[in-house]
Structure 1
Amino acid sequence: MTMKSIARAARNRRVLAVAGVLAVLATSACSQSGNSSGSTSGAAAGGSGKAKIFVIGGKSDDPFWSKVKRGVDDAAKVVQAQGGSVTFLGPQNYDNLGPDAAKLIDSTLSQGATAVIAPDWVPDAEDSALKHVTGQKVPLFIYNAGGLPAADKVGAVNYVGSEEYTAGKAGGTYLGQHGAKHSLCVNTLPGSTNTEDRCRGIDDGIKANGGSSTELPLPSSQFGNQTAVAQAIKAALLKDSSIDSVVTISTSDAGSAVSAVQQANLTGKVKPATFDMDTATLNNIKNGTTLFAIDQQPYMQGYLSVSMANSYVAYGLNLPQRPILTGPAIIDSQNVDQALSGEQAGVR
C-alpha cells in the first residue's frame, strides 16, 4: 500500500475506534466489561459516586497542550454536572520535566484524588510516583506518553494516546517513500521517552525505505525558543549538505525548522516536517513550505481520558480495548483543508 493509502486506512480505523469508545462511555446502563488484559490499577472498579479527577499535563501556554486541555474541559462538564470535579496541573517549564511531573502526581493524593490521569514522560523519574497512586488504590490512567507497556508497568487501568514509535515510523516511511535520503530529527526534549521514541521511529521508517536519519538533541531550555532552535538547525544543515528533510518533535519548534531552511537558502532542497500541528504548520503545508505533520489528536486524548476515568469511578464502567489509540495520521497537501477546519474550531 502507498503511504496515502496507509494513512487513509489508519484514519478510518481511528474514526471507528473513537466512535466505539464514545458509544460505550455514553451508555451508563452497560455492565462492567473489564480489561481484556493487563492491570486494573489495584482499584475496585467504580460505583463510588462523585469523581475528583486530577490531570497532569504540559504548560498552559503550549499550543499542543491547550488542545488537550480543551478536551479535558469539555469532558469535565459532564463530571461537574454529576457533582464531581476535574483539576488540570502542569509544570511552569520543561527544564526538569520528569521530577516536576512526579511532584505534581504526588500532590494529587494529598488533594483527595479519586482518579489520576498522567503522561509517563520520563519513567525513571515518574514511575515511583505513579506506583504510589496505584498503591493507594486510586485508579490511574496513562495518556499521551508511555504507551500500554508503561501503563501495565505502573498498574494503570489503560493508556490513551498515540504510540510514539509507530507515529515516528509512519513519518519516516512517508519521507522515504517521497524521496528523502537523509533526515534530521530535532529533539528539544532529549531524555523524554515519547520524543526519543519519535526520533527512533523516524530513523527506522526512513531506513526501511533506503534513507537514513540523524538526531539533533538540543537543551530542553531551548524548547520553543525559535531563534536558538533555528540557529542550531541552520548550523546542522550547513555542516551536512546531505540532509534533505528536518523533522521537529512538536509545533513549538516547527516554525524554527522553516526559518532555518530559509536562512540557509535551502528552500525546496530541504523539506521540513513535524509531529503535531497548529494553524501556522497547516498553512505551511498548504503553501508547500512544510511537507507534513503527524497528528495524534490531542483533544481526544484529554476528552477520552477524563470520560473514561469518570465512568470508571462513578459507574464502574470500563472498556475491553487496550490501548485506546488516537493516532497517528499523516496530514499533508491531500487532506490539509479538513485539518484546518478542525484547527479553526480549536480541537486539532
Structure 2
Amino acid sequence: MKRITKLLAAVVLAGVAATAATSAMAGSKGAKIFVIGGKADDPFWSIVKRGAEDAGKVVEAQGGSVTWLGPQNYDNLGADAADLIRTAISQHADAIVGPDWVPESMDEAFKAVVAAGIPLIIYNAGGLDAADRLGAMNYIGSDDYKAGFAGGEYFGNHDLKNVVCVNTLPGAANLRAQCAGLLAGVAKHGGKGVELPLPMSSFGNPTAVAQALKAHLLQNPDVVGVYTIGNVDANSAANGIMQAGLSDKVKLGGVNMDQTILANIKSGSQLFTIDQQGYLQGYLAVSILNGHVNYGLTVPTREILTGPGVVDESNVDATMAGVQAGAR
C-alpha cells in the first residue's frame, strides 16, 4: 500500500501543478474522458464515481470533461457494457476507462478503443492480464482472486472452515475469480467451500438473496461462513442467516462496505469485509489519463493495486470516517 500512497501523492501533485498551469492552456480543449462503471444506485459504484468526479475537477479546470456511463441494470451486463464502450468511441472520446467484467462480450469493444488510437485504462475488473490482452496502458483496482483468497484465509484463521460464496453476478469473470480465491484461501487452512450462483436479477434483491441463502444453509448444516460479493448483498445475507436461525453459528464476511456494514462489524454481527478502495480506482484512472492526454505522461507501474485490505473489529473505527465522507 506504500506504493499506492506514493503514486497517489504524485498524481495529486501533478494535478495541482496542472491546475496552476490552466491559464497557459486557455486555448486547449482539454481531455474528453469517458468512464464506464456500474449502476448509478449501486453503493459501491457511487464511490468509484465520486473518485472519478473529484479527479474530474482538474480535468474540467483544464477545459476537458469526464462523462460517466453505466448500465440501467445488470441483467445483460456484458453486452450492455460493450454498448457503452462503443458509445464512448462514437462520442469521440480522448480516453476511456472501463472494467472488463465479461471478457467474451466486452473484449471486442475494448479492442476497438485501442484500434481507434484512444488511450485505455482497465480498472476494477480484469487485472493486468486483461490490460495486456487488450493493449491498455494500466490496470487499476484490486486483484479479485487475491481479495477472495484474503477472505478465505480470514475464515480459516478463525477456524471457520466450511464456507459458501454467494455470487449474485455469476456472469462477471472477476466475481467468479473472487469466489475461486475464497475457496482456495479456506482450503489452505484445511477447509472447504462452494460457490452459490444466483440469477443476476437477484443482485441487490433482499428477498431473493435471503431466501436462497436460508435454503442453502438449512440444506447444508455444516456451513459456518458466508461471503458476499458486494455490500448490497451483505445485509440480505445477514437476514438469510437470521431467518435460518443460525446467527450464533454462521459468520458473515464479504467485499466492499458502507456505514451499515461497518456498524455491523463493530457490533459483531458481521465478522469482516474486504476493502478494494473504489474511490482510488476512479480517481487514479481519470487522473492518469488526463495527464497522458494533456502532457504525454505515463505511469511505469502498469498494475496499480488498490486492495485487498481486511476491515474487521481491529480497524473499523479508523475506517468509518472515510465512509462518512463518501470515499470508502
**2:23 matches 1:21:** no
**2:282 matches 1:296:** no
Decide which of 216, 222, 226 is 2:202's aligned counterpart.
222
> 2:132, 2:104 → 1: CA distance?
15
Q: Which residue of 2 aligns with 1:40?
A: none
Q: Which has the higher contact order (CA 8 A, sep 6+)?
A: 1
- How many residues are matched? 316
> 1:25, 1:70 → 2: CA distance?
17
> 2:9, 2:216 → 1: CA distance?
48
> 2:302, 2:274 → 1: CA distance?
22
Cα deviation, 1:210-240, whole Å, max 9, x if unaligned, reads 1001110000001000011100000000001
Give the TM-score of the pair, scaled to structure 1.
0.89
Q: How does 1:87-106 map to 2 (within 5 A)?
A: 87-106=67-86
Specify the code of the residue in structure 1 equivalent to 2:10: V
User: Deviation of residue 191 (structure 1)?
Assistant: 2.0
Distance 1:262 1:27, change over 3 A: closer
User: Deviation of residue 28 (structure 1)?
Assistant: 4.7
User: Deviation of residue 18 (structure 1)?
Assistant: 2.4
> 2:9, 2:252 → 1: CA distance?
38
> 1:62, 1:298 → 2: CA distance?
12
Cα deviation, 1:28-76, whole Å, max 9, x if unaligned, reads 59xxxxxxxxxxxxxxxxxx96100000000000000000011011000
Cα deviation, 1:85-123, whole Å, max 9, x if unaligned, reads 000000000000000000000111110100000000000
Q: How does 1:194-233 map to 2 (within 5 A)?
A: 194-233=174-213
Q: Which residue of 1 aligns with 2:264?
A: 284
> 1:68, 1:210 → 2: CA distance?
36
Q: Which residue of 2 aligns with 1:41?
A: none
Identity among equivalent positions (%) equals 56
Decide which of 283, 286, 303 is 1:306's aligned counterpart.
286
Distance 1:28 1:295, change over 3 A: closer
> 1:190, 1:257 → 2: CA distance?
16
Specify the code of the residue in structure 2 equivalent to 1:25: V
Contact 1:49 1:315 in 2 (8 A): no
**2:226 matches 1:246:** yes
Q: Which residue of 2 aligns with 1:122?
A: 102
Instruction: Give the match's secondary structure for 2:67.
Output: strand
Cα deviation, 1:287-328, whole Å, max 9, x if unaligned, reads 111110000000010000000010111111111112011000
RMSD: 1.2
User: Deviation of residue 19 (structure 1)?
Assistant: 2.4
Contact 1:49 1:313 in 2 (8 A): no
**2:124 matches 1:138:** no
Q: How does 1:1-348 map to 2 (within 5 A)?
A: 14=1, 16-28=2-14, 50-348=30-328
> 1:315, 1:169 → 2: CA distance?
39
Cα deviation, 1:237-268, whole Å, max 9, x if unaligned, reads 00010000100000110001110111111112
Contact 1:28 1:315 in 2 (8 A): no
Instruction: Give the match's secondary structure for 2:271.
Output: coil
User: Deviation of residue 24 (structure 1)?
Assistant: 2.8
> 2:124, 2:217 → 1: CA distance?
31
Contact 2:49 2:282 in 1 (8 A): yes
Cα deviation, 1:265-287, whole Å, max 9, x if unaligned, reads 11120001111111111111111
> 2:186, 2:126 → 1: CA distance?
23
Contact 1:187 1:217 in 2 (8 A): yes
Unmatched runs of 5 consecutive residues or more in structure 2: 16-27
> 2:98, 2:55 → 1: CA distance?
16
Contact 1:248 1:254 in 2 (8 A): yes
Runs of 4+ in 1 over 2 A off after TM superposition: 22-29
> 1:192, 1:309 → 2: CA distance?
25
Unmatched runs of 5 consecutive residues or more in structure 1: 1-13, 30-47
